[in-house]
Structure 1
Amino acid sequence: MLARNQDIDFSREIDSAKIGPLNILRMERAEAIDLIRTSVLSRQRMDIAICNAHTILSALDDPAYAETLQSLTLFNDGIGAELASKVLHGKGFPDNLNGTDLIPAILRNIGVPLRIFLLGAGEEQVRAAGVHIAETYPHHTVVGVRNGYFDPSDVDQICEMVKSASPDLLLVGMGNPRQEHFIAQHGDRMGATVAIGVGALFDFMSGAVIRAPKPIQNIGLEWLFRLLQEPRRLSKRYLIGIPRFFFKVRGLKRSGKASASSK
């Protein structure tokens, strides 16, 4: 099921998994890239949130955040979303569409040159991420970067900055729920064809944060690697949040509030 602000015409319906109030699309990575390519080529706006266990738990706790996410197109991220879908619907997702892997895959495989704007993270990190994209994917153009530390009084100027750059792809890395609220509230004013909330992507691209080795990623323990890197910042999210997440999922299963996957 597509969010209410999405107008892309599909040749077939896309399956989704309902987890609490959220309908998260079930797609292979190639399908997700094709969806974004279609949006860019047709100039039909699409705003995307990538939902991991923390995102879903935040939506279950906060109806206002859930409403924001319901206005966006939702992709899945990580082992938590995968297990929740299996518990509630008996099947998971075809691919893990976490932004750290999906965005480079988009840049490699979308097949059309993109104008890209980066918004978020610290000044050093976002600029380094822009340099990384420009050097690694020279067929695309980075048309602007802006750090994510600003006051509400700066929002009008930032929206005008993005709009003036006319990006096909706006990457917003402010962490959630802030990045999703920002995209939902200001996406129309910024005018980017596709906007995606990308969390810590700029920190990874800039080298400020090191990703887990592939074997750790493959067994679903990247969250543990990140926790060991940043225990003070992430301990509450993982050590308290993960048990709460699965307690909530079990509650959804018992209450029957997650119907069979919807179209």
Structure 2
Amino acid sequence: MKSAPVTLALGGFPVLCTRGEELQHRLHMHLRAGDQMAVFFANTNFVVRCQGLQPAMAEGCLIINDGVGVDIATWLVHRKRFPQNLNGSDFVPGFLRELGRDARVFLFGGKPGIAQRAAQALREDFAVPVVGTSDGYSQASDNEGLVERINASGATVLLVAMGNPLQEQWILQHRNQLEARLLIGVGALLDFLAGDKPRAPHWVRRLRLEWLYRLTLEPARLARRYTLDIAVFLALCLRRGKRVSEG
């Protein structure tokens, strides 16, 4: 009998307690078994913006911890820490490279041209087979046609980069029509891969200060997220405590 994955409740979401190698193995198993799984990375913005989506995420979803803010809240609520920080911008490219030719990837999201440049980077730098792309603007205006294009591409992995909560809503709304096995919300990953937005230097990421680096680059867009929304996030987590929302 398969044991249930170990999770910690945070802001009403069951967040998986795992390491990168274990998560890679779990996703491999879903691909090999032909099971569909949606994967979401829970940073502070996810927890605040995706409230109300918990019932739709109750089955067929893995929610992964992402960022120092989530670690702080988890310690306050549970007096425990996640075994490893698994932000999607680092985990997803490495996972796709490890999959190699077993992955057929479709990229969806970003401004016009972003997905195409991200696809080129994945092919050249990570040897990832990318079978199709769509921006998140004009090419995404016809959802039915987009789903047909994704399915026709033979994609087994779909990366959706629309930000929270739009990417989560889109995946949850359309997953029953999609044939891809792994549906992953990736936030700004395509912008990073395309070179449209720079990643923080490795030493900054090791210190877990990438949020501060991004704030200095985009203060107008991110100031609320890293000030007022952090307070909302912590209050929400403390109020929900160890409960997982069911509706």
Moved more, 125-134 or 69-78: 69-78
The Cα of 1:259 is off from its aligned counterpart by 5.0
The answer to whether structure 1 residue 96 and structure 2 residue 106 are counterparts is: no
Note closer, same or farther for the CA distance 1:79–1:118 as it changes in structure 2 (3 Å cut). same
Alpha-carbon distance between aligned partners in 2 of 1:86 and 1:29, rounded to the nearest angstrom: 20
- Residue 165 of structure 1: which of 153, 160, 184 is its match? 153
**Aligned match of 2:184:** 196
Alpha-carbon distance between aligned partners in 1 of 2:49 and 2:235, rounded to the nearest angstrom: 13
The answer to whether structure 1 residue 55 and structure 2 residue 46 are counterparts is: yes
- Residue 182 of structure 1: which of 147, 166, 170 is its match? 170
SS in 1 for 2:54: helix
**Aligned match of 1:5:** none
Aligned length: 243
Between 1 and 2, higher relative CO (CA 8 Å, sep ≥ 6) is seen in 2
**Aligned match of 2:10:** 19
The answer to whether structure 1 residue 227 and structure 2 residue 215 are counterparts is: yes
Alpha-carbon distance between aligned partners in 2 of 1:259 and 1:66, rounded to the nearest angstrom: 12
Alpha-carbon distance between aligned partners in 2 of 1:248 and 1:105, rounded to the nearest angstrom: 32
The answer to whether structure 1 residue 123 and structure 2 residue 118 are counterparts is: no
Alpha-carbon distance between aligned partners in 2 of 1:188 and 1:223, rounded to the nearest angstrom: 34
Gaps of 5+ in 2: none
The Cα of 1:153 is off from its aligned counterpart by 5.1
> Percent of pairs identical after alignment?
31
**Aligned match of 2:73:** 84
**Aligned match of 1:215:** 203
Alpha-carbon distance between aligned partners in 1 of 2:106 and 2:243, rounded to the nearest angstrom: 38
Which amino acid counterpart does residue 77 of structure 1 have in structure 2?
D
Which amino acid counterpart does residue 178 of structure 2 have in structure 1?
M
On the 8 A contact 1:68/1:180 being kept in 2, the answer is: no
CA RMSD of aligned residues (A): 2.0
The answer to whether structure 1 residue 241 and structure 2 residue 229 are counterparts is: yes
Which amino acid counterpart does residue 8 of structure 2 have in structure 1?
A
TM-score by length of 2: 0.91
Alpha-carbon distance between aligned partners in 2 of 1:170 and 1:240, rounded to the nearest angstrom: 32
The Cα of 1:245 is off from its aligned counterpart by 1.5
Alpha-carbon distance between aligned partners in 2 of 1:38 and 1:80, rounded to the nearest angstrom: 30
